[in-house]
Structure 1
Amino acid sequence: MSTIKAPPIYKVAVIQAVTLFLLVLAVAILSNWTDAYSLLIGGLICLIPGTLFARKAFKYRGARSAGLIVKELYQGEAIKLVLMGAGFALSFIYIDPLNVVVLFSGFVLVHITGVLMFVRVSRPVRNNP
């Protein structure tokens, strides 16, 4: 068992989900339903595969598990790309009407939120006054 602390992947995922749902609520109130569900779908296309990838990628820790970590990274990335591609393809095929600009905006906003939150929660704590 490794003594390396696991990154807060679920905390980041929850923050991404809360941010997404608040944005969807704001768009539903200020705009229309097509924009709201397009934003939701785009955000979920990013959130679900990204969280599954992070779960696989950080399953093992430590130098002794290097081979397993690399294997999980490759598998996780492949799964993530397939799920994202399928999400976009299914959205374009089956959802009508769909606001494509808002769909991609939701995807990008959730991704940026995840990157910013991961940087924030994984930053080392400084005790300098």
Structure 2
Amino acid sequence: MAFRNKTPLHQLAISKLLLAQVLMSVVIAVVFLLAEGISAAGNAMLGGLIVLLPNIYFALKAFRYFGARSALDITLSFWSGEMGKYVLTVGLFIFVFLVIKPNNFIALFIGYFAVLIVSALGLLLVKKSFRKY
């Protein structure tokens, strides 16, 4: 029997990471706005969104269940969330390159990697105190 997690996304620990990703996207876009103009800033923001949107999907999918009795459902929701994240990332890259056609690839990839680094460092943002045994 799976126990559904009814906690809103903004109250989960992952919300700090998502907020940090939003802030990094905005900071990178502002840097490119000041340095190279609005077109580069838009491309940098697109790069950040390519990371952010799949991570929001993952957070909604992965933290759907809680409790020891929901272990199988938690595992399956993490797995499907991660696979969905990969599919969304590839789909967003295809969409950006085929439909939007960015003119500043450097800004796009710097925005992408800057937000991706925030994801990689996410464990430092979501602190929990662990007891030593």
The TM-score normalised by the length of structure 2 is: 0.79
The letter of the residue matching 1:25 is V
Distance 1:43 1:52, change over 3 A: same
**Counterpart pick for 2:20 among 10, 15, 21:** 15
| Poorly superposed stretches of 4+, deviation over 4 Å | none
Q: Contact 1:9/1:55 (CA < 8 Å) preserved in 2?
A: no
User: Within the alignment, does 1:49 sit opposite 2:54 as a pair?
Assistant: yes
**Matches of 1:70 and 1:117 in 2, distance apart?**
20
Structure 1: 5+ residue runs without aligned partners?
none
Distance 1:19 1:97, change over 3 A: closer
The TM-score normalised by the length of structure 1 is: 0.81
Report Cα offsets for 1:19-75 as digits up to 9, x if no partner: 211221121012122221111001001001012102211222232111101111122
Paired position in structure 2 for 1:124: 129
Which structure 2 residues correspond to residues 1-129 of structure 1 after superposition, within 5 A? 8-124=13-129
**Sequence identity (%):** 33
Aligned-pair Cα RMSD in Å:
2.3
Structure 2: 5+ residue runs without aligned partners?
4-10
